[in-house]
Amino acid sequence: MSEYDESTSSDHLRVALEAAQKAADISRGYYAGNFEVRTKEDLTPVTQADVECEEAIRAHILDAFPEHGFYGEETGSTRQNAEYLWLVDPIDGTKGFIRQYPFFSTQIALMHRSEIIVGVSSGTMMNELAWAEKGAGAWLNGQRLHVSDIDDPDKAAVSTGNLKTLATSPGWSRLGGVVARADRIRGYGDFYHYHLLAAGKIEAVIESDVNILDVAALSIIVAEAGGEFTDLNGFPPSLGMRSVLAANPALHAEYLAQLRGFVSSPSL
């Protein structure tokens, strides 16, 4: 099946897609500017759009599933020990959003007993809406996604994120080994390189200084497209995730062998 059949989606996925659309309407309206920016305690910026998007997402999801937990970037968490926990970053890439880069996105995922089972990644200004559900495949604008089968590092395209943090790691030279062999090195960043990976257009993403809200939805999209998604030590996505190695299966093990121990991993 290459085209998506809405009748097969669960209520969880349906509500997540609806919530993403509500957020898109808000962020699109603010994109041209005319919004307030303040600095949070962690010294990162937040805008009116971030907060309003998350409030809309939260209201829509908890209206449909009042017994579920919710963990949001801007409004915090409720019932974080619930069987079902929603993980939401209303505008991932706020700094870019402020400067009118189109690479920001809305990230919505559902975790069931520590396993991510639904993910929606909405690249609003790039007209890219990707989603996945456990066992039901990954999709981009209604078309089925699958990672590439390139198995030669010399022919691989690799995208990196947060190079500043990677550069200060004692394992920096190990990344140099990956870079030296790759056919192409890019830094697409944010949601976009994961969409490219899931679509088979690049072979790997290496990233540090992330949190689970940034990548939860993207992790299941890559996995359901046939890829492997771990941290740089090979651990699966968890609430404490801080780095990413995502790749097609043919190359993930090879890159992991080179990069394992590059950064520390949180206890699961």
Q: What is the pLDDT of residues 155-202, one digit of tens each?
A: 999 999 988 888 887 778 899 999 999 999 999 989 999 999 999 999
Same domain, 206 and 175: yes
Among residues 144, 172, 200, the one where a domain terminates is: 144
Look over the chain and give the mean of its residue pLDDT values, rounded to a whole number: 93
DSSP annotation of 235 reads: P
268 domain residue, yes or no: no
Q: Residue 119 class from Cβ within 10 Å (0-12 exposed, 13-18 middle, 19+ buried)? A: buried
* pLDDT given for residue 32 in this prediction: 81
122 domain residue, yes or no: yes
221 domain residue, yes or no: yes
Same domain, 112 and 162: no
166 domain residue, yes or no: yes
φ, ψ for residue 115 (rounded to 5)? Answer: -115, 130
Number of domains in the chain: 2
Same domain, 109 and 173: no
- CATH number at 240 reads 3.40.190.80
Torsion angle in degrees (nearest 10) through CA of 185, 188, 194, 195: -110
Residue 36: pLDDT band by 50, 70, 90 thresholds? confident
Report, as an integer, the average pLDDT of 16-29. Answer: 97
Q: For residue 62, give both structure tokens.
A: 């908890």
**What pTM did the predictor assign?**
0.94
Among residues 112, 144, 176, the one where a domain terminates is: 144
Same domain, 133 and 57: yes
Among residues 81, 113, 144, the one where a domain terminates is: 144
Q: Between residues 248 and 263, which one has the greater pLDDT?
A: 248
Same domain, 20 and 118: yes
Same domain, 119 and 195: no
- pLDDT over 60 at 267, yes or no: no
Residue 109's alpha-carbon distances to 13, 106, 115, 122, in angstroms, are 9, 10, 10, 11
Residues spanned by the domain of 251? 153-259
Same domain, 14 and 117: yes
Q: Summarize pLDDT for 82-125 with one digit per residue, the tens.
A: 999 999 999 999 999 999 999 999 999 999 999 999 999 999 99
Residue type, 43: L
